[in-house]
């Protein structure tokens, strides 16, 4: 995984006790190569929608934006804990081995884009063309 502006931080609330967060203002990108088999996948992003900011995040595949959303639920606390934890699901995403997946976002206020995980679940084979 390449982290441009993100750092890995230890936090007991996160899975594996680790998460990534932005280190400053402006755009940040975390990217990694998709290493599993070609197919249709559902993606699930675990992150922390804190109450003291409205960060913005895009999910890209090979540079194409497939999702963009603002962290404006602000339902939980202003820090990382179980009340600020949120999930975003993207369904039926076609992925090929070697695709570049990127999380590109801008922190806001006291919300530094704390992301716990991005997982993918195989749904189906790619359609035959």
Among 3, 66, 78, 90, binds Ca ion (CB under 5 A): 78
CB of 46 to Ca ion, least distance (A): 15
Instruction: State the binding string over 8-47 for Ca ion (x if CB under 5 A, else -).
Output: ----------------------------------------
Contact pick of 5, 19, 21, 49 for Ca ion (by CB under 5 A): 49
Category of 116 on φ-ψ map: left (φ > 0), alpha (ψ -120 to 50) or beta: alpha
Residue 8 CA to residue 86 CA, distance in Å, equals: 19
Closest residue to Ca ion, judged by C-beta, is 110
Q: Please state, in angstroms and rounded to a whole number, the distance separating the CA atoms of residues 97 and 77.
A: 38
Segment interacting with Ca ion, rule: CB under 5 A, options 19-27, 28-36, 63-71, 85-93:
63-71
Give the C-alpha separation, 46 to 48, whole Å.
7
Q: Which residues bind Ca ion (CB under 5 A)?
A: 49-50, 52, 71, 74, 78, 110-111
């Amino acid at each position: 995984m390449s982290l441009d502006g993100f750092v890995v931080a230890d936090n007991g609330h996160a899975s594996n006790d680790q998460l990534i967060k932005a280190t400053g203002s402006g755009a940040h990108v975390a990217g990694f190569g998709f290493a599993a088999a070609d197919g249709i996948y559902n993606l699930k992003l675990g992150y922390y929608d804190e109450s003291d900011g409205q960060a913005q995040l895009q999910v890209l595949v090979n540079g194409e934006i497939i999702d963009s959303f603002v962290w404006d639920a602000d339902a939980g606390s202003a820090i990382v804990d179980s009340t600020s934890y949120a999930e975003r699901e993207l369904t039926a995403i076609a992925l090929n081995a070697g695709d570049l997946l990127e999380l590109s976002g801008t922190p806001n206020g006291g919300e530094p884009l704390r992301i716990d995980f991005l997982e993918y679940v195989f749904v189906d084979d790619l359609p035959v063309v």
